[in-house]
Amino acid sequence: MSSRRRILVVDDDARLGASLRRALAYEGYEVEVAAEGPGALVAARDRPPDLVVLDVMLPGIDGGVSASHGHATLASARLRRRARRKRNTR
């Protein structure tokens, strides 16, 4: 498991996503790019990020809708991660 902070970039502009990936990876972050809302929700559920950079005007699903649907997924992932850390520090 990587100790680097993980960022999920959600943007339908492939060039912008690639630019953000390069810049953030250069700064030491692990970066995943999703081109649409449903894919971002799957990525967030499967490997919860520390931060999400979200385009709020995604085709097919509004970024705000993705955020509201993903909020519960991301919040529960954070709680699981905190619980895991607590168990590991005992």
What pLDDT does 72 receive? Answer: 46
Residue 32 β-bridge partners: 8
What pLDDT does 54 receive? Answer: 83
Banded model confidence at residue 3, pLDDT cuts 50, 70, 90:
confident
Given a cut of 60, whether residue 73 has pLDDT beyond it is no
pLDDT in tens, 13-62: 999 999 999 999 999 999 999 998 788 888 888 888 988 888 877 776 65
Q: Dihedral sign, CA of 1, 19, 10, 42?
A: negative
> Quick one: which of 23, 27, 29, 22 has its CA closest to 5?
29
Pairing of strands 51-54, 30-34: unpaired
What pLDDT does 16 receive? Answer: 94
**Is pTM, for the whole model, over 0.75?**
no
Element (H, E) at 56: none
